[in-house]
Structure 1
Amino acid sequence: MAALKFELQQKDPLSGARTGSIITEHGVIPTPIFMPVGTGGSVKALTQSQLKEEVKAKIILGNTYHLYLRPGIEVLEEAGGLHQFMNWQQPLLTDSGGYQVFSLAGTRKINEEGVMFQSHIDGSKHLFTPEKVMDIQRSIGADIIMAFDECPPYPSEYVYAQQSMQLTHRWLDRCFQRVEETTGKYGYAQNLFPIVQGGTYTDLRKASCDYIGSKNAAGNAIGGLSVGEPENMMYDLCGLCCDNLPADKPRYLMGVGTPWNILECIALGIDMFDCVMPTRNGRNAMLFTSKGIINIDNKKWEKDYSPIDDGIACETSNYYSKAYLRHLIKSKEILGLTIASIHNLAFYLHVVTEARKHIEAGDFTGWMKSSTEQFKVRR
């Protein structure tokens, strides 16, 4: 089994932006990359062929918490893992479920051992320990698996953020030990990424980066951002983490964000992104386009027969009109949710693909500035 490899290819002379390739046994992922979120083994409203051919996704996410509860580990193991179960033969990443567990604030208890929580489905009680989360991710079978961490809320007092970070580090040691004493179930390598925490405190963030960097993992993630803190604070902390994490490993910023957030963070040195925003907002009539943001519910689009977005290479975005999509959304036709989701995800993949091209061309900074201004326009 071959462990993940990361090849750095090009660096932007005016920023921290860079291009590279993440090489897994299920395929090569060009970076920077955006990863659609397929929480329960499905990117909502899309088929796997649409993800591959229309969105041009190179890697997608599953979630340990949701997949553990439904369909359950027994089903996934009998299917041969999530790749086989959902018939997706490209790379997969699984989030550890830490964020989902900690969002159940009223129904979970945290201690040194792990987290006791109640299922949001039937109220049954479950214990997630670092060891169990690694075992679950072994059964799911993703190429990249995430460490079990605690994500402190914003705002958090310094002492809480510090204790939370230290707990995350102790859990990380247990995650690595469990991975080292077990093997993958399906004949290919799984790669554990640790997660930087530390709240909004720069000294804690740096300490967490130092601890996580010392693990020499295949890649490293930054968690606990985009949880309510001001945008500029997010950028400052992200930049600090990029400066203190190993440059020869991929850096994954979890749960961020808008197209301009992604460009700003690419400029700081981030390689990997995920967010539910493109699909969630698409299902609620908000479209991100190459010419700005559209609320397709608005009456101004009722008789606009031009393509949704002819500025990106996506057949769905080029084929259907704004008027037709508005009609579908207003009529609550399921097809409307599919078209909007395909378009938004295709746009996000377009953004990171264009970023890669401009980093390689040496004009990323200027392109990013003009693109960010355009993407923010409310149409």
Structure 2
Amino acid sequence: MKIALLLSGGVDSSVALYRLLEQGYTDITAYYLKIWLEDELSFLGTCPWEEDMAYARAVCEAKNIPLKVLPLQQEYFDRVVSYTISELKRGHTPSPDIFCNQRVKFGAFYDKVNEEYDKVATGHYGIVEEIDGLSYLRRSPDPVKDQSYFLSHLSQDQISKIIFPIGSLMKEEVRALAQRYDLPNKDRKDSQGICFLGKIKYSDFVKHYLGEKEGEIRELETEEVLGSHKGFWFHTIGQRQGLGLSNGPWYVTSKDLENNIIYVSSSRNILEQKRTVFNVCEPNWISRKPRTDELTLKLRHGPRLNSCRIKWLSAERIEVTMDEGDKGIAPGQFAVFYEDDICLGGARIE
């Protein structure tokens, strides 16, 4: 079996490579995907891609695994960055990592090498299992590291070609294996944030493309002006950090896009702002549609699951009612649905 492994230079994908070798796979080619927008954003800061490459090369050389560099900057900009900018302009909360997986790592990359390999392996935390001829995505047993939320928009064709060698492990087990394998990057910290930004602040990226425009911050209940902001596109529903307001904490509850006003509510009133009912559209089902109306969901990456009921409004729209309210439900964000530990897929919040 010929396998293409996506190698980032981090611990997870490096351990994934060694796990494949332990499992007897020998025909492996590693790929480093270069998606950092160095020409477009170089003046904002540096991306550690050269350091990533050095680690990736050292990991491969230790086992005589060929490593290829595949530039996908243009594809990344066209398929992910442009979407992110467009959503911010509309006042939405984008999820670039979901589309990085769907459109680049398992999209543009597939387009380049699909016919050359039988499977594509990555260091994601998730489990692919075949049942009755269909490939299902299951949550990782590590609730904190589980990446099924970010993988929720993959297609059946994409998921059927994937191997996740570390998907069934806990993070501490992966770290222990890195030490046992004596990997060159065994003590390297996990990367944080959006993959194409490197060490650049997200706010600097947004400012570069959308600029700044001063507007008012008002209290939702009283319309009192509490302060100012530099543009509604810098803020998302549920946000409490970076508002610069005293007598808080304050939370962003809504945005008036036409007048560039951010509405906030204090922690004393935030329970009243929690929502339990919302609509989603354009669902993507990885393997099949839900077999029941009683599901669990995630509104963001992380361990928290919320029980919910769904009601079909049309083939492309669903009403969702959660058992527990959430103050951070934002248009453009994605709700990802589960039956037990099976990730069914996700849909965009209206």
TM-score norm. by structure 2 comes to: 0.25
Higher strand residue share: 2
Higher helix residue share: 1
TM-score norm. by structure 1 comes to: 0.24
Which structure has the larger Rg over C-alpha atoms?
A: 2
